[in-house]
Amino acid sequence: MCGVAGFILKKKKSNKNNIKKINQILDLISYRGPDKKQFISNESYSFGTNRLAIESIKNGDQPIKFENLIVGFNGEIFNYKKLIKINNLNSSHIDSEVKLIAYLYKKYNEKFLDLIKGQFAIYIFDTNKNELFLARDKYGIRPIYYMNETDFVFASEIKCILKYAKDKINFSKSSLAQTCFFWTNIGDTTSFDKIKILPPGQLLKFDGKDLKVKRYFQNQIIQQKDENDITNDDFYELLNKAVTNQIHGEVGHACYLSGGIDSAILAFLLKKKISNLDTFSVSFDNSDYDESKYQKKLSTFLKTNHKQIKISSKDIANNFSKVVEHAETYLFRTAPVPMYLLSKEVKKSNHKVVFSGEGADEVLLGYDIFFENRIRKFWSKFPNSKIRYKLLQKLYNYLPQFKNSRYFEMIKDFYKKNLGSTDDIFYSHLVRWSQYEQIREYFNLNEEKYNAENLVEQFLNSLPKNFKDQDYDRKTQIIEENTLLSNYLLSSQGDRVSSANSIETRYPYLDENFSNYIFKIKSKLKAPGIKSKHLLRKSFKNFLPDEIIYRPKFAYQAPEAKSFLSENHTSRIAHEYFENIKNLNNQNSDSIYDLFKKIKHPASSSRIGFRENMAFIIGLSDHCLRNFKKKYSNNNEK
């Protein structure tokens, strides 16, 4: 894991000036790679890397000059040693991932991306052609942002581009609307209008004039047919191999332990290979969010060296602005904050690499939305049934509003609104997305281009052409992967908060060989009825306690609006937000003032409604982004 940055000037400047610039922007993200800063620069360009040394510690400094190529990257190529052997290369000459990338690009051009397997953001500059090549991994685990205005500039983080640019850069209302609708950005959108992110599985070429972006990887959910079976033993070995593939590097490896089955299985498999395994988890003062009982049970059972940090509402409030500064986007939840604090604990233990269970829900059908979709379809056949809708209570038994019979009647009516729209290609997400109209009332998003129909059309245009031909489960997987997975879970809650503490996170459930094979397996085998991750559970039932194997899905969340506001308390950041609402031109100040009153009202429950929580967190992150821009921007426009 590293931090990368570079720029190509459209008008030459002194190399002294360019060296100053590349140093300046690399220093902003030194935490991504504190082991060594290095760059290559002249009057026309500069390219640099902050390195977090994990693999080829002695030989892997970058960027490198390889004949006519300048090459650097952020991430890991898990199969690089295998590729050295396959290509009959001299391992004393090609002795690092970055050198292998350079060699493969020389030999195969962009087709080398079909050979490498890992998590990466790569830059390659051909000094003969004056052409820059950028590429991002297939799931979007590692980020790369760019802007093509006065100059072309790219970096691992937006703050580098803001600091470099002299162009006027405004906030993106599209980003705000997308976050209110999809809970995250989609496509190449970022929170700033001229700055783009290279989407997962895509590459970019820039020759000084023309800029081309294209997809090099087609999502395997689309490509593979849902037709195979698999035995428990074969599944075990497949996942075990995925974990083994990612035990990569010359440093130690730790594991997050949430208390759920995904991380429990990773820790179990890692413990078989790392006898002195360190595991890390968060617990909460608020019992509604706390999973410490299961974390302790697992760490005792697995005999790991376990470290747990307890998160209070005060911790959420005190660290929220810092997390927005690293996420560099609108947040709709506070959940990245505990992960930021947990990765800080991992760093204190002198680790550089930690394993995480992200991706399991998308690949193995674990999210409630898969089963909510099935329940709604089942209910839609007999809309007046007095029994079928009660399956929702079984599915969401961990949520207070589903336990309360009075509230549940209102929830039932809410779900019933879109019940009959089973022909809609986005049927699985209609309930979630129907809340947009109420959420956007808190923000100045009344223009026609920000209406629901336009947002959905934009999203559809970003999806593979044969998306419409997929079955319900696969459509749901593709939507989740193209929204929350790459742009939130692996970014705001993943790379951005772990990298802030010089920690690289790895995701074996997203191992390419593993996920590609799983996409061929019948959905009913992976998760029949409303049995979340059934295949995963039964394949490991003889290795972990029943209490963990059969534990229902418990969505990871953190305390939200009430962390900042209550009847008797207003946090410093909430006070600043309240004082500045009228200066935040994205927000409907009257609606936000009313929201403050509602959250602070003594009759307000400890967990206010989802829409109110979400609107407050998005609004608060908008306030934090204003401060972020003032801190890093070269100019002070509003």
pLDDT of residue 507: 98
Residue 591 maps to a domain: yes
> Residue 183: inside a domain, yes or no?
no
Instruction: Give every strand in the sheet of 45-51, ordered side by side.
Output: 36-41, 45-51, 2-8, 152-155, 145-148, 196-197
- CA 211 to each of CA 132, 207, 216, 506: distance values in angstroms, whole numbers, following the listed order: 9, 7, 16, 31
CA angle, 408 then 414 then 417, to 5°? 145
What is the rounded distance in angstroms from the CA atom of residue 621 to the CA atom of residue 185?
14
| Amino acid (one-letter) located at 277 | L
Q: Is the domain of 517 the same as that of 596?
A: no
DSSP string, 382-406: STT-SSGGGHHHHHTTTSHHHHSHH
Average pLDDT over residues 25-51: 97
In terms of pLDDT, which residue wins out, 397 or 463? Answer: 463
Q: How many helices (H) and strands (E) does the chain have?
A: 29, 17
pLDDT at 602 over 90: no
pLDDT tens for residues 359-375?
999 999 999 999 999 99
Contacts of 71 (CB under 8 A, 6+ apart): 62, 63, 64, 98, 101, 102, 105, 122, 123, 124, 125
Average pLDDT over residues 530-557: 93
Residue 637: per-residue pLDDT: 45
From the CA atom positions of the chain, what is the Rg in Å?
Answer: 24
Q: Would you say residue 139 lies in a domain?
A: yes
Residue 389: other Cβ atoms inside 10 A: 22
Residue 251 shares a structural domain with residue 135:
no
Residue 207 confidence (pLDDT) above 60: yes
Indicate whether 168 pLDDT > 60: yes
In the predicted structure, residue 209 carries a pLDDT above the cut 50: yes
> Rounded mean pLDDT of 223-238?
86
Position 455 scores a pLDDT of 97
Q: What residues form DSSP beta bridges with 254? A: 354
159 and 228, same structural domain?
no
Please tell me which of 328-342, 403-417, 514-528, 550-564 the model is most confident about, judged by mean pLDDT.
Answer: 328-342
**pLDDT for 71-126, tens place per residue?**
999 999 999 999 999 998 887 789 999 999 999 999 999 999 999 999 999 999 99
Residue 16: pLDDT band by 50, 70, 90 thresholds? very high
Mean pLDDT of the chain, nearest integer: 93
Let me know if residue 184 belongs to a domain. Answer: no
DSSP lists the bridge partners of residue 3 as 50
Strand order from edge to edge, sheet including 202-206 = 64-66, 69-77, 118-126, 131-136, 202-206, 211-215
Residues 427 and 572 in one domain: no
Whether the CA torsion 244, 249, 251, 257 is positive or negative: it is negative
Q: Is residue 524 part of a domain?
A: yes
How far apart, in whole angstroms, are the C-alpha atoms of residue 239 and residue 471? 25
Residues 464 and 528 in one domain: yes
| pLDDT, position 153 | 98
The reported pLDDT for the residue numbered 607 is: 63
Vertex 185, ends 199 and 438: CA angle to 5°? 160
Quickly count: other Cβ atoms within 10 Å of residue 353's Cβ: 23
- 416-430: average pLDDT: 92
Average pLDDT over residues 258-281: 97
Domain boundary among 505, 531, 558: 558
CA dihedral for 72, 78, 81, 85, sign (positive or negative): negative
Q: What's the domain count of the chain?
A: 3
CA distance 443 to 428: 26
Between 344-348, 525-529, 621-625, the lowest mean confidence (pLDDT) is in: 525-529
Cβ neighbours of 93 (radius 10 Å)? 9
Mean pLDDT of the 466-486 span: 93
Most confident of 511-520, 593-602, 615-624: 615-624
Please report, for the domain that includes residue 226, its CATH number. Answer: 3.40.50.620
Confidence label for 457 from pLDDT (cuts 50, 70 and 90): very high
Q: Is 239 found in the same domain as 224?
A: yes
Residues facing residue 4 across a β-bridge: 49
CB-neighbour burial class of residue 550 (10 A; exposed 0-12, middle 13-18, buried 19+): exposed
Among 191-195, 332-336, 550-554, the range scoring the smallest mean pLDDT is 550-554
Whether the per-residue pLDDT at 219 is higher than 90: the answer is no
- Same domain flag for 347 and 475: yes
Residue 96 lies in a domain: yes
Q: Specify the DSSP class assigned to residue 486.
A: I
How confident is the model at residue 621, as a pLDDT? 98
Q: Is the pLDDT of residue 436 over 70?
A: yes
Contacts 24+ apart (CB under 8 A), 109-117: 110/135, 110/203, 110/216, 113/203, 113/216, 113/217, 114/216, 115/83, 116/77, 116/79, 116/80, 116/83, 117/77, 117/78, 117/79, 117/245, 117/511, 117/512, 117/513
221: pLDDT strictly greater than 90: no
Q: What pLDDT sits at residue 215?
A: 94
In whole angstroms, give the CA distance from residue 107 to residue 569. Answer: 63
141, burial (CB in 10 Å: exposed 0-12, middle 13-18, buried 19+): buried
Instruction: Check residue 152 and give its pLDDT.
Output: 97
CB contact at 8 A, 374 and 389: no
Would you list the DSSP string of 122-161?
EEEEETTTTEEEEEE-TT--S--EEEESSSEEEESSHHHH
Residue 186 placed within a domain = no
Binned at pLDDT 50, 70 and 90, residue 213 comes out as very high
Question: How confident is the model over 503-517, as a mean pLDDT?
Answer: 96
How many angstroms separate the CA atoms of 57 and 60, rounded? 6
pLDDT of residue 635: 63
Q: What is the mean pLDDT of residues 25-37?
A: 97
Encode 164-189: b = buried (16+ Cβ within 10 Å), e = exposed: bbebebebbbbbbbbbbbbbbbbbbb
* Domain membership of residue 29 as a residue range: 2-172+191-217
Measured in whole angstroms, how far is the alpha carbon of residue 414 from the centre of its chain?
A: 29
511 shares a domain with 599: no
Does residue 638 have a pLDDT over 60? no
Using the CB atoms, write b or e for 234-250: b if 16+ within 10 Å.
ebbebbbebbbbbbbbe
Q: Is the pLDDT of residue 527 over 80?
A: yes
Residue 223 has pLDDT above 80, yes or no: no
Phi, psi of 49 (to 5 degrees): -145, 135
576, two tokens? 């600043």
Domain edge (last residue) among 499, 523, 558: 558
Q: How confident is the model at residue 412 (pLDDT cuts 50, 70, 90)?
A: confident
Q: Among residues 517, 540, 558, which one ends one of the domains?
A: 558
At 432 the pLDDT is: 94
User: The CATH number of the domain where 88 resides is what?
Assistant: 3.60.20.10
| pLDDT recorded at residue 359 | 96
Band (pLDDT 50/70/90 cuts) for residue 636 is: very low
Are residue 207 and residue 313 in the same domain, yes or no? no
Q: Which of 541, 538, 543 is nearest to 229 (CA)?
A: 538
Residue 294 included in any domain:
yes
* Sign, CA torsion 384/386/392/396: positive
What is the reported pLDDT for 99? 95
Whether the pLDDT of residue 280 is over 90: the answer is yes
* Residue among 68, 97, 70 nearest 81 (CA): 97
Assess whether 86 and 97 both reside in one domain: yes
Say what the alpha-carbon torsion angle 125, 128, 130, 135 is, to the nearest 10 degrees.
-30
Same-domain check for residues 568 and 525: no
Residue 617's SS3 state is helix
Q: Are residues 28 and 54 in the same domain?
A: yes
CA distance 176 to 184: 9
Q: Are 266 and 510 in contact (CB under 8 A)?
A: no
Tell me the two tokens of residue 352: 């550089």
Residue 542's CB: how many other CB atoms inside 10 A? 9
